[in-house]
């Protein structure tokens, strides 16, 4: 779950990371009033959860409250990468001398957080890593010990930050680690962290991405979710506790188990098909949950076939089949349905589905082949 810039910076401030003066405006008139409070010069920043706001014209510098109102009118009427701009952050303009990148994320290879910094802040850090990797400095953090002072100083030295700024940089880096840890974030980023004309540092922009699996520990953060960012189908899936991500293919997938779902998508792609979604219904899903999953898949007008890939371990395949049939009675799909059932009582489960004129398969490869063929409009053998 991504947080808006202004939400991220509010959290930064609670951990004593310096941020610019500013507030959020919902109207151009509010933007003008905030700019007046800030002394006239202000930056108008679209609050949408996508990158590239500046290139899209979503970040503007106003020299006066009147210009702030005019620019806010323009920005509030924009769509950036399909998302409407409903609010703008009006920040005090800063006297920027140097821009730095500072971010924390998890390194899956080491199983530990990694703090990343670069003197090439303010631009795409991935591009810097690709073109000038020597400009990226990293330190790995022991989760049991946290970020130590000497590690932050090593990072400052590694990116050749002038020694005069090491003290404040270390304080900000350690505060950012506390944000990362205590919010259960998967990413906490300041880009740019700027050095002002007077020598002090300021977090000019901020980004926090939260781990959805830890949101139960942070209900106050879960309430900050921006529904504009999500497809309606993803919001509906969350209501039923389904793991669902909409994709751009035409083979709908309903699978029990995240790893199996990924494997299913890979096989479909390998066979020349295109998965329409990732969907994990979990183990032992009741009929109403299966029905909700089918309805969500079929709400995608691009779906031309649905592949159900169910592995029955503790869950019996005949019970899964009955749940699928109950769900189909409710949803009444108008596209072919291919089911691969393997596990306890699999023969009985396949028999029940075959009697209902569903296309069945005994292996993932067979099921995926039939689903891809159906999506392409090819004739496939029907059971019965």
Residues acting as catalytic residues: 101, 189
CA distances from 74 to 62, 90, 93, 132, 290 (A): 12, 14, 19, 36, 45
Strand partners, 210: 185
CA distances from 192 to 35, 125, 147, 290 (A): 22, 10, 21, 45
Helices (H), the chain: 5-14, 28-37, 65-76, 125-131, 149-158, 166-182, 219-222, 232-239, 258-270, 287-298, 317-331, 346-355, 364-375
Distance in angstroms (rounded) separating the CA atoms of residues 94 and 197: 9
Distance in angstroms (rounded) separating the CA atoms of residues 29 and 16: 30
Residue labelled with tokens 């270390």: 170
The token pair at 131 is 């073109």
The token pair at 157 is 């030295």
Beta-carbon contacts of residue 198 (< 8 Å; ≥ 6 apart): 95
Beta pairing class for 251-255 and 359-361: unpaired
CA distances from 234 to 198, 242, 275, 279 (A): 47, 9, 16, 10
> Strand, coil or helix: what is 223?
coil
Residue labelled with tokens 């293919």: 249
Residue 297 burial (10 A CB sphere; 0-12, 13-18, 19+): buried
């Amino acid at each position: 779950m991504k947080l808006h810039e202004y939400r991220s910076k509010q959290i930064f401030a609670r951990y004593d990371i310096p941020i610019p003066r500013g507030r959020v405006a919902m109207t151009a008139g509010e933007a003008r009033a905030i700019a007046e409070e800030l002394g006239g010069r202000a930056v108008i920043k679209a609050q949408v959860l996508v990158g590239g706001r500046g290139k899209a014209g979503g970040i503007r510098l106003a020299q006066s409250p009147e210009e702030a109102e005019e620019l806010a009118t323009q920005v509030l009427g924009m769509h950036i990468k399909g998302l409407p701009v409903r609010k703008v952050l009006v920040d005090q303009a800063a006297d920027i001398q140097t821009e730095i990148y500072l971010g924390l994320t998890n390194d899956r290879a080491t199983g530990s957080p990694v703090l990343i910094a670069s003197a090439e802040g303010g631009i795409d850090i991935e591009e810097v890593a690709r073109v000038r990797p020597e400009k990226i400095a990293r330190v790995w953090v022991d989760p049991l010990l946290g970020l130590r002072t000497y590690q932050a100083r090593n990072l400052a030295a590694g990116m050749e930050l002038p020694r005069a700024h090491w003290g404040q940089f270390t304080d900000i880096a350690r505060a950012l680690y506390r944000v990362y840890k205590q919010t259960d974030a998967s990413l906490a980023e300041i880009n740019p962290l700027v050095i002002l004309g007077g020598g002090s540092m300021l977090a000019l922009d901020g980004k926090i991405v939260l781990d959805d699996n830890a949101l139960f520990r942070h209900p106050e953060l879960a309430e900050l979710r921006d529904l504009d960012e999500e497809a309606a189908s993803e919001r509906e899936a969350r209501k039923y506790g389904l793991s669902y991500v909409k994709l751009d293919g035409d083979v709908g997938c309903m699978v029990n188990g995240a790893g199996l779902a990924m494997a299913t998508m890979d096989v479909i792609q390998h066979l020349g098909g295109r998965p329409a979604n990732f969907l994990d219904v979990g183990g032992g899903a009741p009929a109403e949950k299966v029905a909700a999953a089918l309805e969500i898949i079929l709400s995608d007008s691009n779906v031309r076939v649905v592949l159900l890939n169910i592995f029955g371990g503790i869950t019996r395949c005949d019970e899964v089949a009955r749940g699928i049939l109950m769900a189909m009675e409710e949803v009444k799909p108008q596209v072919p349905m291919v089911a691969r059932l393997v596990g306890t009582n699999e023969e009985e489960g396949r028999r029940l589905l075959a009697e209902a004129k569903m296309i069945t398969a005994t292996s993932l490869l067979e099921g995926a082949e039939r689903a891809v063929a159906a999506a392409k409009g090819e004739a496939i053998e029907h059971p019965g």
